[in-house]
Amino acid sequence: MRVLSAAIAAIGAVVLALVGASPAFADGRDVDPGDSMYTINCAGDYDDWQLFSVAPTTAFSTAIGVGGGTSEFGGCAGQPAYDAFTGTSYYIQITFDGVASHWALAEIDVTTGVSTTVGEFAWDDDGPQPARIEAIAIAPDGTAYALGSGVLYTLDLDTAEVEAIDECIFAFAFAADPVTGEFYAVDRDGQVYRFDDISEGCALTTLGQLTHADLDLEDIDAEEELRGVFALQIDGGGTFWINVATREGLTQLWSFTTTTLGTPVLSGLFTDEPFYTSALLIIPGAALAATGANLGLAPYLAGGAVLLLLAGGAVLLVRRRRA
């Protein structure tokens, strides 16, 4: 029996080690397994267009690279989008030259954090005209759209040229579901919309209002604590993620589904040191989606295998002792 006791003690030690090594679970949701989340800063203490990887459960952010440079008046990043057709990540690059603001389309390498400007958004109305674009979204087949100043546009990702389709809502938060290909938008006040057929124009279905004791976005005014919703992404499991700006110049990360608008979940403030961002990017985990594997469970599955081996060894030792 002393051999069995020793084996059980060894199993207990392994259990304690596994528990001690297991990740701490935060209050926020996690993205679909294999998906990855990023953000790009807006001015502040970092170089312009500094890329961060984001831990979705807490919004803790880790810098990647050193940003895209510095400008005299500071640069900002608007709604990003991922093109699954080409594997390219894009975002809205905003600059101010001391006289006027400029909105351009930019690519960003999420491995190095290096940005490349494609060009300023422009539309042809008796000659090229600059366009103010506030949000972009890309379908799984690579078809891209943009929202700006209450207009829905098609977007050419090679040239940054836009073409007006229809009058539409004012929204900074705009995204395509990477699985269904449906397009959604959330306005600053937290109204959630689904586009009926975006290729035909801005026919919308209103899904409802985001409501929460700490997320009062209706009828935002100067007295409110929050400034509104400024980015949207949808992960591979259908969870919606938004950036919500605060009056203190910081940004919160929230998540919800179309059936839980009344109970959105707060992950936390985007922080390394807390910073402001109006950009959010999710890149789908295509490899995991194909296999159905959940690597988040790997440490526990491995631990279970170790326990089974130890238990089998303990039984074998006891049998040998009895023999």
CATH of the domain at 226: 2.120.10.30
Residue with tokens 């996690």: 30
Residue 205 within a domain: yes
Of 211-220, 234-243, 284-293, the one with minimum mean pLDDT is: 284-293
Residue 239 within a domain: yes
Rounded to the nearest angstrom, the gap between the alpha carbon of residue 286 and the centroid of all alpha carbons in its chain is 16
Polymer length of the chain: 323
Query: Any long-range contacts for 26-29 (C-beta under 8 Å, 24+ apart)?
Result: 26/57, 26/58, 26/267, 26/268, 27/57, 27/265, 27/266, 27/267, 28/56, 28/57, 28/58, 28/59, 28/253, 28/255, 28/265, 28/266, 28/267, 28/268, 29/56, 29/57, 29/239, 29/255, 29/265, 29/267
Residue 20 within a domain: no
pLDDT at 99: 82
Residue 307 within a domain: no
At 233-279, the pLDDT tens digits run 999 999 999 999 998 889 999 999 999 999 999 999 999 889 999 99
Closest among 228, 243, 226 to 281, alpha carbons compared = 243
Phi, psi (degrees; rounded to nearest 5) at 21:
-90, -10
Residue 98 within a domain: yes
Of 50-64, 66-80, 177-191, 302-316, the one with minimum mean pLDDT is: 302-316
Residue 97 within a domain: yes
d(CA 50, CA 77): 9
Residue type, position 53, single letter: S
Rg (CA), the chain: 24
Residue 134 within a domain: yes
pLDDT at 286: 58
What is the span of the domain harbouring residue 144?
A: 35-284
Instruction: Please tell me the total count of domains within the chain.
Output: 1
- The tokens for 206 are 């209103």
Is-above-0.85 flag for pTM? no
pLDDT at 226: 84
Angstrom CA distances, 179 to 218, 250, 287, 289, stand at 30, 31, 14, 10
Residue 175 within a domain: yes
